[in-house]
């Protein structure tokens, strides 16, 4: 069968000419091929998202891109009409996560499941805009708009308001019993001075002391339990959001820093709940009640006390802003330390093999010391505020003692009244400390909430976390088409795809080949909708992937990544990870198909053997076979294999190649490969370079029609003698 290849014009290297050939289920074995006139541009590597340099912030919306040109390759006949807004890149990828999910059932305007009890702030609180791709860290602090930290905290507290109210009520009753003690003490002293019985006063004082202790302990337990529940709510809400994040947002951040926000920052909400919400409320009310009782005893001494308290409040007011800044820096330094440590532990083998332990130790220690310095600075200002409050009470006591003694000497007040007032001064110390602690802890908690909200402002995927049902056995295979797709990872990044167009009909195997950085893996990322195309359209079954419910789209796809990740847990848990309802018969068949049955027989606990963190107890080839078996158990309509057999020996690779060929008879298989055996058995081959499709055809056709493919075949696939 002959091929007629038309060269693409040099002034339009994106144009893809069609090559006439026979039709049929093998997707026109007659090739499609395009070549650019002139020398080939050297390959470029795929750009990666920028490293984080500051607080997390969503990316700026993409600028408008060129209108998508008419595709030069025919798409599937069942093509769905795309929304008009997709004519520009900004009109599509700049959508917010909330807008994307507005039509999805069970999703509120902030991108969270509607009606999720205790999920955190109410809809609209803290979700913020969630732009398209390329989200990553911002450059400035404090740029995030949104609800105040107190409003966010109230959102987390809302599901536990009954328990919180009970604890607050117990605290108020405890304070009330304490307020009665000085009055009983005054009565006891007056009775002593007048030789009256004191038994009743002693019994009453004993009951008040005992009741105060019991109620205080009970109230403290209820409040601490409620605070732990608030932390749990915040952690569940934040981790749910983390699982919804777009891949672009995760790629632009440090995992260690995200972990710090979900663990360390949320822990600070515990003290914020008790000391800020309850401490300020009960402490403030107790303070007012105490001042009223002090005024009831003597107004002159009350005026003296208020003068001292006012002076202390002025000093504390100057300290509070410094606490806020220091607390924010301290939490950021903890996140940086977590990121550095995660970086080292994630590549510990490389660190040891490179003899870099001492250098990395210095880096981790430097991060720890930075965290220490910032935390000490925060503690310094907090301690200064607390000591200022304590000092004011001591000054107030001395002043009241002097002025009160003079008033007793002039018979202006009784000795019992002075003793009662001094007891109130002592009692005043606790609510003042509560209020000061509430103010300082609010600054610490506000810094933590600010970091939590930075994560909540990162772009999230539309739809709920629930997975869609997997395809039934024998479900129709999927068709895939790229229509003039342009893509880049961010507004400042170079384009990875430059008008990529190709079609893949249902069934059969399509291989993607090309130099490193050609954009092959990016094809899979766009099909899975880990990223959205900047312009152009990606179709599955003739329907733009952005029109698919995300869970339904991914349920139809089986994906084996380049590094074939294996999760911590047992071998069984990893195999059924994508299909939890898999039966024993299907599992046994997958083990035989991927030649894992021998491995299972050798393992001490069979399928229930723990494979270690990231599958460290398995070899690279075994991890790849586990990943392939995991994908096959999903009964995918579309199977994506990204260098899925690169670490297999020849025997296992040959067996799995036969398995994939058999699967390709019933489903659609897309493969990124460099091995000749995989490429030559493909029904069609897509040759890519620097983000462009240069040629499409079979192995034999491309050897004759594509100089790049012939070069790849010579250097990567075949010995020179094999080409003769």
How many Å apart are CA 75 and CA 565, to the nearest integer?
A: 34
For 640, the enclosing helix (H) or strand (E) is strand 638-642
For 504, the enclosing helix (H) or strand (E) is strand 495-504
- pLDDT tens, position by position, 485-511: 999 988 888 999 999 999 999 999 999
Determine the pLDDT at residue 62: 40
- pLDDT tens, position by position, 157-166: 888 888 888 8
Instruction: List Cα–Cα distances, 68 to 65, 338, 689, in angstroms.
Output: 8, 43, 20
- pLDDT tens, position by position, 130-156: 333 333 333 333 444 578 888 888 888
In CATH, what is the architecture of 148-456?
Answer: Up-down Bundle (1.20)
Residues of the chain with CATH 1.20.1560.10: 148-456
396: phi then psi, degrees, rounded to nearest 5: -60, -40
Of residues 229 and 655, which shows the higher confidence score? 229
Q: What share of the chain is helix, strand, coil (3-state, %, to 5)?
A: 55, 10, 35
- pLDDT tens, position by position, 433-445: 888 888 888 888 8
CATH superfamily to which 557-635 belongs: P-loop containing nucleotide triphosphate hydrolases (3.40.50.300)
Instruction: List Cα–Cα distances, 557 to 113, 370, 414, 606, in angstroms.
Output: 24, 45, 87, 28
Using alpha carbons, select from 249, 453, 254 the residue that is nearest to residue 334.
254
Is residue 409 a contact partner of residue 372, using CB atoms and an 8 Å limit?
Answer: no
Determine the pLDDT at residue 43: 40
Of residues 313 and 88, which shows the higher confidence score? 313
Question: Do the strands 480-488 and 543-544 form a parallel or antiparallel pair, or are they unpaired?
Answer: unpaired
The tokens describing 4, both together, are 């007629």
What mean pLDDT is predicted for residues 244-262?
86
Across the chain, what does the average pLDDT equal? Answer: 76
Q: Is 492 exposed, middle or buried (0-12, 13-18, 19+ CB in 10 A)?
A: exposed
55: confidence class by pLDDT, cuts 50, 70, 90: low
How many Å apart are CA 665 and CA 686, to the nearest integer?
A: 19
Determine the pLDDT at residue 145: 59
- pLDDT tens, position by position, 542-593: 999 999 999 899 999 999 988 878 888 889 998 998 888 888 988 998 898 8
φ/ψ region of 95 (left if φ > 0, alpha if ψ in -120 to 50, else beta) reads: beta
Residues of the chain with CATH 3.40.50.300: 557-635
Sign of the Cα pseudo-torsion (484, 485, 488, 492, in order): positive
Determine the pLDDT at residue 477: 92
Using alpha carbons, select from 524, 643, 616, 564 the residue that is nearest to residue 575.
564
Q: CB 208: neighbour CB atoms within 10 A?
A: 18
- Residue 183 pLDDT exceeds 90: no
- pLDDT tens, position by position, 200-220: 778 887 888 888 888 888 888
Measure CA 272 to chain center. 23
Of residues 514 and 200, which shows the higher confidence score? 514
Q: Is 348 exposed, middle or buried (0-12, 13-18, 19+ CB in 10 A)?
A: exposed
How many Å apart are CA 142 and CA 584, to the nearest integer?
A: 54
Q: Please name the residues in contact with 271: beta carbons below 8 A apart, sequence gap of 6 or more.
A: 227, 441, 444, 445
The answer to whether the pTM exceeds 0.75 is: no
What mean pLDDT is predicted for residues 50-71?
41
- pLDDT tens, position by position, 664-718: 888 999 999 877 777 888 899 999 999 999 999 999 899 989 999 988 888 765 4
Burial 687-703 (b: 16+ CB within 10 A, else e): bbbbbbbbbbbbbebbb
Determine the pLDDT at residue 307: 87
Determine the pLDDT at residue 717: 54
Is residue 126 a contact partner of residue 155, using CB atoms and an 8 Å limit?
Answer: yes
- pLDDT tens, position by position, 30-44: 344 444 333 333 343
- Residue 609 pLDDT exceeds 60: yes
How many Å apart are CA 686 and CA 384, to the nearest integer?
A: 68
Q: Which of 64-73, 124-133, 410-419, 586-595 has the highest mean pLDDT?
A: 586-595
HSE (CB half, 13 Å, CA atoms) of 587? 17
- pLDDT tens, position by position, 369-393: 888 888 888 888 888 887 887 788 7
Determine the pLDDT at residue 464: 63
Q: CB 571: neighbour CB atoms within 10 A?
A: 26
Q: Which residue carries 């608030």 as its tokens?
A: 230
Determine the pLDDT at residue 716: 65
The share of the chain scoring above pLDDT 90, in percent, equals 17
Using alpha carbons, select from 643, 516, 505, 670 the residue that is nearest to residue 32.
505
Determine the pLDDT at residue 234: 92
HSE (CB half, 13 Å, CA atoms) of 68? 29
- Residue 84 pLDDT exceeds 50: no
């Amino acid at each position: 069968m002959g091929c007629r290849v038309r060269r693409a014009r040099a002034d339009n290297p994106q144009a893809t000419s069609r090559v006439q050939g026979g039709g049929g289920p093998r997707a026109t074995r007659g090739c499609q091929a395009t070549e650019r006139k002139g020398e080939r541009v050297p390959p470029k590597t795929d750009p990666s998202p920028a490293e984080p340099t500051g607080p997390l912030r969503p990316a700026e919306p993409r600028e408008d891109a060129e209108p998508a040109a008419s595709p030069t390759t025919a798409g599937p006949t069942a093509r769905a009409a795309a929304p008009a807004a997709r004519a520009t890149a900004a009109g599509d990828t700049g959508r917010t996560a909330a807008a994307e999910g507005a039509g999805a059932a069970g999703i509120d305007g902030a991108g969270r499941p509607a009606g999720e009890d205790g999920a955190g702030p109410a809809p609209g609180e803290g979700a913020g805009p969630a732009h398209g791709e390329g989200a990553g860290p911002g450059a400035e602090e404090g740029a995030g708009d949104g609800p105040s930290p107190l409003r966010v905290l109230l959102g987390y507290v809302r599901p536990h308001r009954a328990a919180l109210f009970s604890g607050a009520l117990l605290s108020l009753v405890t304070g009330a019993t304490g307020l009665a003690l000085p009055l009983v003490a005054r009565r006891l002293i007056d009775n002593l001075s007048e030789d009256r019985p004191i038994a009743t006063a002693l019994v009453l004082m004993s009951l008040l002391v005992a009741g105060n202790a019991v109620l205080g302990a009970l109230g403290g337990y209820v409040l601490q339990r409620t605070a732990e529940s608030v932390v749990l709510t915040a952690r569940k809400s934040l981790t749910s959001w983390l699982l919804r994040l777009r891949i672009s947002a995760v790629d632009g951040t440090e995992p260690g820093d995200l972990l710090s926000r979900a663990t360390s920052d949320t822990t600070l909400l515990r003290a914020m709940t008790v000391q800020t919400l309850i401490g300020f409320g009960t402490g403030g009310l107790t303070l007012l009640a105490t001042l009223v009782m002090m005024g009831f005893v003597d107004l002159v001494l009350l005026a003296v006390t208020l003068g001292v308290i006012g002076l202390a409040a002025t000093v504390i007011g100057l300290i509070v802003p410094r606490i806020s800044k220091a607390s924010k820096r301290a939490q950021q330094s903890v996140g940086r330390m977590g990121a550095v440590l995660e970086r080292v532990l994630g590549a510990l083998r490389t660190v040891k093999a490179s003899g870099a332990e001492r250098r990395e130790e210095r880096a981790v220690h430097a991060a720890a010391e930075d965290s220490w310095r910032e935390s000490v600075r925060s503690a310094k200002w907090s301690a200064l505020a607390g000591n200022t409050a304590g000092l004011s009470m001591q000054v107030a006591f001395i002043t009241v003692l002097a002025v009160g003694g003079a008033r007793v000497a002039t018979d202006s007040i009784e000795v019992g009244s002075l003793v009662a007032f001094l007891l109130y001064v002592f009692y005043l110390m606790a609510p003042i400390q509560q209020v000061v602690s509430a103010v300082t802890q609010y600054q610490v908690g506000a810094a933590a909430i600010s970091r939590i909200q930075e994560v909540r402002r990162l772009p999230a995927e539309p739809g709920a976390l629930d997975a869609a049902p997997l395809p039934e056995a024998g479900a129709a295979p999927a068709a895939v088409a790229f229509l003039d797709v342009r893509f880049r990872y961010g507004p400042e990044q170079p384009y990875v795809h430059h008008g990529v167009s190709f079609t893949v009909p249902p069934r059969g195997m399509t291989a993607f080949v090309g130099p490193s950085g050609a954009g092959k893996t990016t094809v899979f990322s766009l099909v899975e909708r880990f990223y959205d195309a900047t312009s152009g359209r990606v179709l599955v079954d003739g329907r733009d992937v952005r029109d698919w419910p995300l869970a339904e789209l991914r349920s139809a796809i089986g994906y084996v990544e380049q590094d074939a990740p294996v999760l911590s847990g047992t071998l069984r848990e990893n195999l059924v990870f994508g299909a939890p309802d898999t039966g024993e018969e299907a599992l046994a068949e997958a083990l035989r198909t991927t030649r894992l049955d021998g491995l299972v027989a050798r393992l001490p606990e069979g399928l229930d053997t723990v494979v270690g963190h990231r599958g460290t107890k398995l070899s690279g080839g075994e991890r790849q076979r586990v990943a392939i078996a995991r994908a096959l158990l999903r009964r995918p309509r579309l199977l994506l294999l990204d260098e899925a057999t690169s670490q297999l020996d020849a025997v296992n690779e040959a067996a799995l190649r036969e398995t994939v060929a058999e699967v390709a008879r019933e489903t659609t298989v897309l493969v990124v490969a460099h091995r000749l055996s995989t490429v030559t058995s493909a029904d069609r081959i897509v040759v890519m370079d620097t983000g462009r499709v240069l040629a499409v055809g079979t192995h034999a056709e491309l050897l004759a029609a594509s100089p790049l493919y012939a070069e790849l075949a010579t250097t990567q696939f075949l010995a020179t003698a094999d080409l003769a």
